[in-house]
Amino acid sequence: MSTREELSGKRVTVAGLGVSGIPAAKVLHGLGAHVTVVNDADDERARAQAAELADWAAARSASGPAGGISVRLGDGDTLPDGTELIVTAPGWRPDKPLFAAAEQAGVAVWGDVELAWRLRETGSGRPPAPWLAVTGTNGKTTTVRMLAAILEAAGLKTAAVGNIGVSLLDAVLGEEEYDVLAVELSSYQLHWAPSLRAHSAAVLNLAPDHLDWHGSMAAYATDKGRIYEGNEVACVYNVADPATEDLVREADVVEGCRAVGFTLGTPGPSQLGVVDGILVDRAFVPDRHQQAQELAEVSDVDPPAPHNVANALAAAALARAYGVPATAVRDGLRAFRPDPHRIEKVADVAGVAYVDDSKATNTHAAEASLAAYDPIVWIAGGLAKGAAFDELAARAAGRLRGVVLMGADRALIAAALARHAPDVPVVDLDRTDTGAMAAAVREAARLAEPGDTVLLAPACASMDMFANYNKRGEAFAAAVRTLAAERA
């Protein structure tokens, strides 16, 4: 019996009204399940979402096999009577009482990714599209979009899906039939996807993040490593991050599946790397001990910052694992354009480059961004999320012309700089209002000299001052444009 048939008539509890919960409830209702949605909040937004969902279900119930969708607000911890399956939003923590009650009752818990994986059969009888999956602390979205561009350049019908772009449920249940999917997966999503078995997968890097959710670095790494379970062709890892290779060693994969590394240095056998400005493949060639295949030039990567070249190599490895020719890697990378606020050059003003990497919301991402430029006037600060900054300050010290700090937790960065870069001038803006960005850009311009880069790489979340990192980056770009107009 297929998963679709099994779900018909089943009592399913959906945990969470939101970007994944509402689509999951609709899909389950359409398959004939009896759906109850539970939600922690009982506010105006939640009530509006619940009313809209109930109206949607009522309009379809007359001719459908199931009744309406029941919604329980303000009670996300109690397991509804008769529940046979839970489908949870990825952000719901595993230590919630709802899941403890489910475990005691023997009720399985799936995430939306698990649901999509189990529903991926095509109506035409054609084999379901394989998944090329990507996770990591940083670089997931860029790598998946690069991968999709490479697959498209090879003439394949694909989409960037998962934690990005098209939702996985839409991708597997829509009328569009794909050859292969480029799938971004977060640690939350992987935690709730026990059956996922990708064609090939990559873990880009591992650094402390979301530890409040996972409980420990070990648990976080374990959830990331789930992406390798059952891989068929290649487990792609970062040679510079041994923890990613450790996850490959621990994974239970299909016999014959290979470990494939990527490195910014000269690649060894079964690796992709860089030689004299050329991206080179020594993994997917007839004789990887004696042969190498040129894929693209570093200059084909936009922008060619070291961590972005690493993203390109990971994307190329997954595409090559799927059998994509070298020319498609080159053409796809040339066609790719990064999303806004990811090491995005805004302007040159008086010989100084201004770069927006507002997406660098943790220390690992900021370190990669800082490694791409020299010398730098660094704009940083925001919500630290429990992070420490000593290692970041120590590694960046030699590149810094100056630093401008703002945001709620700026004192933590200031203290780390005092310990590890005491000679670097630091401007401490005692502000957390949105207008502080304009002041930060002006202070950075005062510190900068021709040939420098003013880099917004906050190493912190944005919510103390801005709605999100996009708004923070937009404020930076607006301030730079104002500065450029004044100095024209």
Give the CA count within 13 Å in the CB-facing half-sphere of 108.
Answer: 13
111 — phi, psi (to 5°)? -90, 175
Q: Cα–Cα distance between 404 and 413 in angstroms, integer?
A: 10
**pLDDT value at residue 65:** 47
Question: Is the same domain home to 141 and 285?
Answer: yes
Last residue of a domain, one of 77, 96, 116: 116
Question: Is the same domain home to 257 and 272?
Answer: yes
CB of 8 closer than 8 Å to CB of 65:
yes
Question: Is the same domain home to 362 and 315?
Answer: no
With vertex at residue 258, the alpha carbon angle to CA 254 and CA 263, rounded to the nearest 5 degrees, is 145
**pLDDT value at residue 57:** 86
3-state secondary structure of 468: coil
Question: Is the same domain home to 472 and 413?
Answer: yes
**pLDDT value at residue 62:** 56
Question: Is the same domain home to 331 and 348?
Answer: no
**pLDDT value at residue 224:** 94
**pLDDT value at residue 408:** 94
**pLDDT value at residue 354:** 97
Last residue of a domain, one of 116, 148, 170: 116
237 — phi, psi (to 5°)? -130, 165
CB of 321 closer than 8 Å to CB of 132:
yes
Task: Write the DSSP assignment of 348-397 as a string of letters.
Answer: EETTEEEEE-TT--SHHHHHHHHTT-SSEEEEE-SB-TT---HHHHHHHG
Q: Cα–Cα distance between 206 and 221 in angstroms, integer?
A: 7
**pLDDT value at residue 207:** 83
> 401 lies in which domain range?
344-487
Question: Is the same domain home to 399 and 466?
Answer: yes
Question: Is the same domain home to 328 and 361?
Answer: no
Question: Is the same domain home to 267 and 284?
Answer: yes
Intervals of the chain under pLDDT 50: 63-66
CATH code for the domain in which residue 244 is found? 3.40.1190.10
Last residue of a domain, one of 300, 335, 370: 335
One-letter identity of residue 106: G
CATH code for the domain in which residue 389 is found? 3.90.190.20
Q: CB within 8 A of 243, min separation 6: which ones?
A: 206, 221
Number of domains in the chain: 3
Q: Cα–Cα distance between 472 and 462 in angstroms, integer?
A: 7
**pLDDT value at residue 284:** 98
Question: Is the same domain home to 297 and 366?
Answer: no
Question: Is the same domain home to 294 and 323?
Answer: yes
Per residue, the 3-state secondary structure of 27-60, as one string, reads HHHHCCCEEEEEECCCCHHHHHHHHHHHHHHHHH
Global pTM reads: 0.86
**pLDDT value at residue 98:** 97
Question: Is the same domain home to 125 and 55?
Answer: no
| Count of helices and strands (H, E) across the chain | 18, 20
Residue 110 parent element (H or E): strand 108-111
Q: Residue 238's beta-bridge partner residues?
A: 262
Question: Is the same domain home to 256 and 366?
Answer: no
pLDDT digits (tens, 9 = 90+) for 380-407: 999 998 889 999 999 999 999 999 999 9
Q: Cα–Cα distance between 420 and 405 in angstroms, integer?
A: 16
